[in-house]
Structure 1
Amino acid sequence: MVITSVGDRAESSDRHIRRNTAGRPMMPGGYGRSAYHVGAAPTYAVRGEGWRLWDDTGRELIDANGNFTTLIHGNAHPEIVEAAHRAMQRGSAWGIPNLAEWDLAEAVLQRLPGLGQVRFTNSGTEAVMSAVRLARAVTGRDGVVMTKDGYHGSSDVALLASGPSKGVPKAMGDDVTLVPLNDLTALREAFTQRPASHAAIILDLLPNKAGLVEVAPQFVAEARTLASEHGTLLVIDEVISFRLGEHGLSGAYGVVPDLLTAGKLIGGGLPIGALAGRDEYMEPLDPWVPGGIVHSGTFSGNPVSSAAGSAALRLLTASQIDRLNALGDAARTQANEQLQPCGWEVRGRGSLLRPFPAGARKVAEATQHELWWAAYERGVVLSSANLAALSTPMDTAVVTDITERLVDAVKAVAEVTG
């Protein structure tokens, strides 16, 4: 059966929802996280292997979501599973340091020339939150500069990248300056107007929420220059983009930040975040240094995530990154040749692809939902924002198949939405 509208799917939305005594879902909206929302309750994943995913109806799907870009080696990679299993057998977490943290720290820092130290968190959100706090401690300032419509997690400061957000104190906006992406004049004015107020500039070099438009090299270079001139720390958020180069996307740009945040793939599919930085800026995190700041987290640097992450990074060789990026670039070219007549395009870089109406920075939520379901009905799982992330188990045939199904889905939605 081909379903043509989100409304047609409502009848299946209660299939697995468990309710409290008041008859409400035990989880608000019926989801464990808002990122699952695609207009109607999706089917449930029950098993994954490589690039394949099976839902609770028994259907086999192509997993181009990869838990929102996390699973760069696909589902249940045997070496990662084995590494996590061995770690779990020894103990899932302890209240004293573990050796697996050192292995992962070394693996991360080997990819980040110019940065000397790293601390682990449980998520990318926590990593960015810690970066802001550290930058404020180092500089003695409160201000944060971000680009408009960016996404840096769900901490109070980060949520303001999209403007005022419910639940975030209004006063917090006094310390946040938002500049349009790639607007050099606005970036310079932020420092001209408040030359000694900013603790950090936070950049995502391929911001998904802002339309998956690459940050211009000139904008990055100017951010680096202004940060150095004004005693502000340049923070690059690589929670998603770390997959795009042997030294992350910042390495491809040739810029060394003062602090860098990572997450997702560096945990091998388990919860993780990381804050890496230059030695002199990481010093306040050293508990031996008087007057430092406290960083903790019950499961930060736990041996299971660390072991899985070390395995994932070992498997993610430079040649694998180049291969995936080439597959993604070819897929974009192929898709755009076919989508041009219907007024859509596929954007991104390397192994990340996302369809948009040509020239648009945003897609209406209803259109996003329709496209998600159109792709799902054609056997492809995208992120709720319609981002596709390639994984190392995929070869040319699989990526070509994804591209053809995605193009067909986009054409179907374009025809309905006009």
Structure 2
Amino acid sequence: MSTTNLGGLASAQTVTEDPHLRRGSRGFPLLPGGYGRSTYYTGAPSPYAVRGDGYRVWDDRGRELIDANNNFTSLIHGNAHPEIVEAATKALSEGSSWGIPNLYEWELADLLVSRLPALDQVRFTNSGTEAVMSAIRIARAATGRDKVIVTKGGYHGTSEVALVPGGPSYTRGVPQGVIDDVTAVPLNDTDFLRQAIESAPDAYAAIILDLLPNRAGLLRITEDFVRAARELATRHGVVLIIDEVISLRLGYNGFSGAYGVEPDLLTTGKLIGGGFPVGAVVGLGDLMAEVDPTRKGSLPHGGTFSGNPVSMAAGAVALRLYGPDQVERLTRLGDTAREAANARVADAGWEIRGSGSLLRAVPRGAEKVDEQTQHELWWASYDRGLLGSPANLLSLSTPMDDTVVNDLTERLVDAVLAVAASSRS
């Protein structure tokens, strides 16, 4: 078996040239298609990560990359931050998980509600997907209704309800009854939203909003649309859920805080786990009472590793380290990078969208980017030493400074221009 030895790296590993082809005893690739997540796929066999340190990651092809993927935005402090490693290691040394509560949950919950002052209580889950699932169930239980409103292009994880706004390619395998319970509203179409709710005001349990939906090309939801959703939800007894699994990083009080809107339930995850599995529902006390086990008739909620001490300890450190000054600094770096890149890619018919520390390059005006173009840009970026998500979402991390972000911007612009030139030839 042919191998590549990465002796130049700390923690060197020897791996097969193409791990995707490794097969089990029955002849099948050990992972479907060679991938542990469908979201890793970039149109061709992907490199494998070997080591990460700060804003850098090294792969099994010997490449050193600027890590602007950051595990799909979750590593707000980059790879192997020493304080987070120390906290996680200490928690792990005391016991990775137990069948009774642990004290680490209280610290992370306290940090969350202190940053979300309109909300009262927290329930932890293992992922953002689970957080959204739990929020929807709470809303349905509290209202006695079934239907849910989402925006087209919104991404809320991989539960059946959350898959519906993705369209036919996502809803294959989802029961028709689930699809019928979901109304997908065009992004920022306030009239459509109002008509949907007012045509059946007693049917809807929840409105779910992602304020900066990546699936829609990182197009920002307008303040008018958010205000209308809040007003309609209040008037008709609908629960307003704001999904901040990704966007919590965009403001000390979350992105909803920047909008000045108060949700009834807020879902989050990613950065609040410090690089470990996590999700959370943060909500008003009367709604969160639905999952209070001391209350008769409450909703059962489990999860073997929900609120596990390692995620809680690491997450508390990550959140404390991401204070107002760091939020402001990363926002400035991202906004400066976006402005500089846009000035250089505009003539090629592209634009860099986003807000603060989140950036995404897309063909100008596109509401949806075809997969081939996404893959071409991913590989063009990779060839220039820049690692983004397969959808080309880039997220900054706190180890990055002006020099690193300027370098990142140069690599991104060069990749965009190369793809643009290729498409014209």
- Give the TM-score normalised by structure 2: 0.94
Runs of 4+ more than 4 Å apart:
none
The correspondence for 1:267, drawn from 273, 277, 288, is 273
RMSD: 1.0
After superposition, residues 394-413 of structure 1 pair within 5 angstroms as: 394-413=400-419
**Structure 2 residue matching 1:80: 3-state secondary structure:** helix
1:13, distance to aligned residue in structure 2 (A): 7.9
User: Contact between 1:13 and 1:41, CA under 8 Å: does it hold in 2?
Assistant: no
Matched positions, count: 407
Ranges in structure 2 where 5+ consecutive residues have no aligned partner: 1-15
Query: Structure 2: which amino acid aligns with 1:359?
Result: G
Say if 2:188 is the partner of 1:219.
Answer: no
| Distance across 2 between alignment mates of 1:95 and 1:254 | 39
Tell me the equivalent position of 2:10.
Answer: none
| Distance across 1 between alignment mates of 2:360 and 2:369 | 11
Tell me the equivalent position of 1:44.
Answer: 48
User: Contact between 2:265 and 2:282, CA under 8 Å: does it hold in 1?
Assistant: yes
**Structure 2 residue matching 1:300: 3-state secondary structure:** coil
Tell me the equivalent position of 2:311.
Answer: 305
Tell me the equivalent position of 2:142.
Answer: 138
Say if 2:239 is the partner of 1:233.
Answer: yes
Instruction: Please say which of residues 160-169 and 280-289 is displaced more in the overlay.
Output: 160-169
The correspondence for 2:152, drawn from 148, 154, 168, is 148
1:15, distance to aligned residue in structure 2 (A): 3.9
After superposition, residues 189-200 of structure 1 pair within 5 angstroms as: 189-200=195-206
Tell me the equivalent position of 1:8.
Answer: none
Query: Structure 1: which amino acid aligns with 2:74?
Result: T
After superposition, residues 152-171 of structure 1 pair within 5 angstroms as: 152-164=156-168, 165-171=171-177
**Structure 1 residue matching 2:115: 3-state secondary structure:** coil
Tell me the equivalent position of 1:364.
Answer: 370
Aligned residues with identical type, % of pairs: 63
| Distance across 1 between alignment mates of 2:356 and 2:116 | 19
| Distance across 2 between alignment mates of 1:151 and 1:313 | 23
| Distance across 2 between alignment mates of 1:391 and 1:196 | 44
| Distance across 2 between alignment mates of 1:403 and 1:274 | 33
| Distance across 2 between alignment mates of 1:112 and 1:369 | 37
| Distance across 2 between alignment mates of 1:215 and 1:385 | 19
Tell me the equivalent position of 1:97.
Answer: 101
Say if 2:301 is the partner of 1:295.
Answer: yes
User: Contact between 2:51 and 2:59, CA under 8 Å: does it hold in 1?
Assistant: yes
1:20, distance to aligned residue in structure 2 (A): 2.5
1:171, distance to aligned residue in structure 2 (A): 1.3
Query: Structure 2: which amino acid aligns with 1:90?
Result: E
**Structure 2 residue matching 1:110: 3-state secondary structure:** helix
Say if 2:395 is the partner of 1:386.
Answer: no
Query: Structure 1: which amino acid aligns with 2:141?
Result: A
User: Contact between 1:240 and 1:262, CA under 8 Å: does it hold in 2?
Assistant: yes
| Distance across 2 between alignment mates of 1:45 and 1:80 | 20
1:363, distance to aligned residue in structure 2 (A): 1.2
Alpha-carbon displacement from aligned partner over 1:372-417 (angstroms, at most 9, x marks no partner): 0000000000001001000000000000000000000000000111
Query: Structure 2: which amino acid aligns with 1:89?
Result: S
The correspondence for 2:251, drawn from 228, 240, 245, is 245
**Structure 2 residue matching 1:345: 3-state secondary structure:** strand
1:16, distance to aligned residue in structure 2 (A): 4.8
Query: Structure 2: which amino acid aligns with 1:318?
Result: P
**Structure 1 residue matching 2:21: 3-state secondary structure:** coil
Say if 2:338 is the partner of 1:332.
Answer: yes
Tell me the equivalent position of 1:17.
Answer: 21
After superposition, residues 338-353 of structure 1 pair within 5 angstroms as: 338-353=344-359
**Structure 1 residue matching 2:44: 3-state secondary structure:** coil
Say if 2:98 is the partner of 1:73.
Answer: no
User: Contact between 2:20 and 2:33, CA under 8 Å: does it hold in 1?
Assistant: no
1:14, distance to aligned residue in structure 2 (A): 3.4
User: Contact between 1:258 and 1:277, CA under 8 Å: does it hold in 2?
Assistant: yes
Tell me the equivalent position of 1:29.
Answer: 33
Tell me the equivalent position of 1:181.
Answer: 187
